[in-house]
């Protein structure tokens, strides 16, 4: 991808050191048994809609970690410090969010959104920039308001005739074409999930962790943390994951994860990727920024 670049020399050194549109109609969150896998296999945390890994179906559980420092420990500690920093020093931020997700085995196209996010109360405003199928859509959610519902409207076409609708974030309609609900958006939620998964996975062996300095995401200098589970195991969520932490902002601005190859000579399959570009923190957002009556928005609410 054009906006992501890792320094190959640094990566080699690292190895040596050891690393929303709203679309109508879809499936709900992952059921209790998916493709022969038990939800309990994956530990705590939200599971994605329509997209658990497939490359580890039928695999046994990973062996327990041996005595000593788990390779994930430095990454876990970094994520915990990052989460504390986000919670104490960031009140809000805006960003261009780029996401791509694999749902029910099909990899979708990149979606682009302008986002405003406020930490307390958790508030999200999204304006979809592309592709054309979702362009013009808007989504609004404020924790504790509107009976816990999000508000959304399509940008064009037949769906736009419906106007603004109020939906539960985890309802079938709201989750159509999405791996996660809008309530999971943002760098704080991303970091929380990374901490949860790292704590779970650190109980087991068969984990490789590498740190790659001087990686680039849209021109931003980052430290890339790459976690690899080389052997398919039923209690791991991914084969390979990369987190890019902005060196200046000290927040994760990109996450990507891959499934194990489905064939012996195949390549890892991208499951999901999320990039936060042009991040601007502490803008002083007010309730007006998350009000459907805002005249800059098109919710049609008076």
Residues 80-93 have pLDDT tens digits of 999 999 999 999 99
> Virtual CA dihedral for 200, 205, 211, 216, nearest 10 degrees?
-60
Cβ atoms of 259 and 239 within 8 Å: the answer is: yes
Is the model's pLDDT at 289 over the cut of 70? yes
What values do phi and psi take at 64, rounded to 5?
A: -65, 155
Is the model's pLDDT at 232 over the cut of 60? yes
Q: What was the pLDDT predicted at 263? A: 87
Is the model's pLDDT at 249 over the cut of 90? yes
Q: What was the pLDDT predicted at 45? A: 59
Q: What was the pLDDT predicted at 2? A: 55
Does residue 299 or residue 204 have the better pLDDT?
A: 299
Q: Give the residue-averaged pLDDT of 18-44.
A: 37
179-213 burial: b if 16+ Cβ within 10 Å, else e: bbbbbbbbbbbbbbbbbebbbbbbebbbbebbbbe
C-alpha to C-alpha distance for 214 and 93, rounded to whole angstroms: 24
- What percent of the chain is predicted at pLDDT more than 90? 65
The total number of residues shown for the chain amounts to 302
131-165 burial: b if 16+ Cβ within 10 Å, else e: eebbbbbbbbbbeeeeeebbbbbbbeeebeeeebb
Q: What was the pLDDT predicted at 123? A: 99
pTM comes to 0.84
DSSP string, 95-124: EEEEEEEEETTEE---EEEEEEEETTTTEE
């Amino acid at each position: 991808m054009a906006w992501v670049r890792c320094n190959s020399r640094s990566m080699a050194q690292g190895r040596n050191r050891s690393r929303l549109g709203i679309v109508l109609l879809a499936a709900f969150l992952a059921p209790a048994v998916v493709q022969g896998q038990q939800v309990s296999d994956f530990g705590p945390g939200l599971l994605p809609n329509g997209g658990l890994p497939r490359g580890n179906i039928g695999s046994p559980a990973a062996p327990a970690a041996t005595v000593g420092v788990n390779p994930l420990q430095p990454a876990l500690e970094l994520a915990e410090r990052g989460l504390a920093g986000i919670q104490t020093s960031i009140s809000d931020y805006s960003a261009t969010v780029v996401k791509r997700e694999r749902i029910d085995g099909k990899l979708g196209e990149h979606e682009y959104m302008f986002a405003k996010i406020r930490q307390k109360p958790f508030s999200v405003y999204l304006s979809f920039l592309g592709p054309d199928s979702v362009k013009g859509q808007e989504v609004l959610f404020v924790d504790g308001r509107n009976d816990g519902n999000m508000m959304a409207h399509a940008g064009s076409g037949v769906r736009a005739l419906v106007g603004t609708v109020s939906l539960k974030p985890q309802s079938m309609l709201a989750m159509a074409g999405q791996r996660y609900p809008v309530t999971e958006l943002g760098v704080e939620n991303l970091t929380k999930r990374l901490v949860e998964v790292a704590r779970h996975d650190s109980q087991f062996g068969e984990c490789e962790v590498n740190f790659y300095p001087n990686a680039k995401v849209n021109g931003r200098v980052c430290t890339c943390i790459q976690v690899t589970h080389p052997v398919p195991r039923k209690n791991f969520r991914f084969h390979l994951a990369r987190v890019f932490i902005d060196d200046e902002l000290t927040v994760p601005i990109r996450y990507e994860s891959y499934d194990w190859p489905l064939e012996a000579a195949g390549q890892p399959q991208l499951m999901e990727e999320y990039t936060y570009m042009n991040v601007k923190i502490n803008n002083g957002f007010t309730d007006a920024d998350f009000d459907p009556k805002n005249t800059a928005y098109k919710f049609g609410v008076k």
